[in-house]
Amino acid sequence: MTLIDSHAHIYSEQFKQDRDEALARALAEGVEKIYMPNIDHTSIDVLLETEQKHPEQCISMMGLHPTSVNKDFEQELYLVEEWLGKRRFAAVGECGIDLYWDKTFLPQQQEALKVQVELARKYQLPIVLHTRDSFDETYEIIAAAQDGSLKGIFHCFSGTEDQAAKVKELGFLMGIGGVSTFKNGGLDKVLPHVQLDDLVLETDCPYLAPVPHRGKRNEPVYLPLVARRVAELMQKPVEEVAATTTRNALNLFKL
């Protein structure tokens, strides 16, 4: 069974001691490709070093995470655009709006997202969206910009059936991760009503480990737990979930 982790911070400091082993564990469980979103200027070096060391398995995105957006965000975006002009990345991301931690910089987050949407259009790349407590605010910007050329992922989707329909209408995919295994995650009410063609799988490691590892460090080797939960909720064979979500990810990222 081949799987793709469409969103993983495997370059994170939390994997400093055993990154190679974590990647080997994942590969042994069929997780053949791992797409890595950038955070900000502090993560670029280790992101690219991880890709350079594991080029067949680890593939980089480039973007500015909304929680790194502050009054000086223009300098961060300049660096993102500079890197996008230097080499090919899998996607622009992760970017979006986060209203969970701090609402202070919402106008700056909105502007940073709009800029990155245009970078995705310019470089003909998918865009990977972070929408924590901000689905409506993020959707509004993407919907206004969608002219048929934008594609991407609403990463860590944990919304309603209505929001899932809006994502599909935009032509975007939903990234499904460990939240699908949580008792009160809400996806048990949504996934039976969506199509596999609209999904990709993710871990978002080291965060959001699936049950029974909830609260511990997440890693790509746990992706089969997500695949099995999605299969259970959608009443599909897990092999079909793996094959379809893998195809969806490869078609989107085109690398």
18 is in an annotated binding site: no
7 is in an annotated binding site: yes
130 is in an annotated binding site: yes
> What whole-number distance in Å separates Cα of residue 176 and Cα of residue 201?
5
Among 78, 196, 95, which residue's Cα sits nearest to residue 153?
A: 95
CB 36 within 8 A of CB 10: yes
Higher pLDDT, 221 or 254: 221
65 is in an annotated binding site: no
161 is in an annotated binding site: no
At residue 167, the pLDDT reads: 99
- pLDDT tens readout for residues 32-41: 999 999 999 9
Q: Name the pTM for this structure.
A: 0.97
- pLDDT tens readout for residues 38-72: 999 999 999 999 999 999 999 999 999 999 999 88
Retrieve residue 105's tokens.
């910089």
Residue 132 confidence (pLDDT) above 70: yes
In the numeric block, the tokens 């409506």 are attached to 136
At residue 72, the pLDDT reads: 87
Residue 255 confidence (pLDDT) above 80: no
At residue 101, the pLDDT reads: 86
> What whole-number distance in Å separates Cα of residue 126 and Cα of residue 153?
8
Domain architecture of the chain: domains with CATH: 3-253 (3.20.20.140)
| Average of per-residue pLDDT values in the chain | 98
193 is in an annotated binding site: no
Higher pLDDT, 152 or 254: 152
- pLDDT tens readout for residues 73-129: 999 999 999 999 999 999 999 999 999 988 999 999 999 999 999 999 999 999 999
The dihedral formed by the CA atoms of 229, 232, 234 and 238, expressed in degrees to the nearest 10: 80
> What whole-number distance in Å separates Cα of residue 108 and Cα of residue 19?
34
- pLDDT tens readout for residues 15-26: 999 999 999 999
At residue 55, the pLDDT reads: 98
At residue 238, the pLDDT reads: 99
3-state secondary structure of 58: strand
Higher pLDDT, 173 or 72: 173
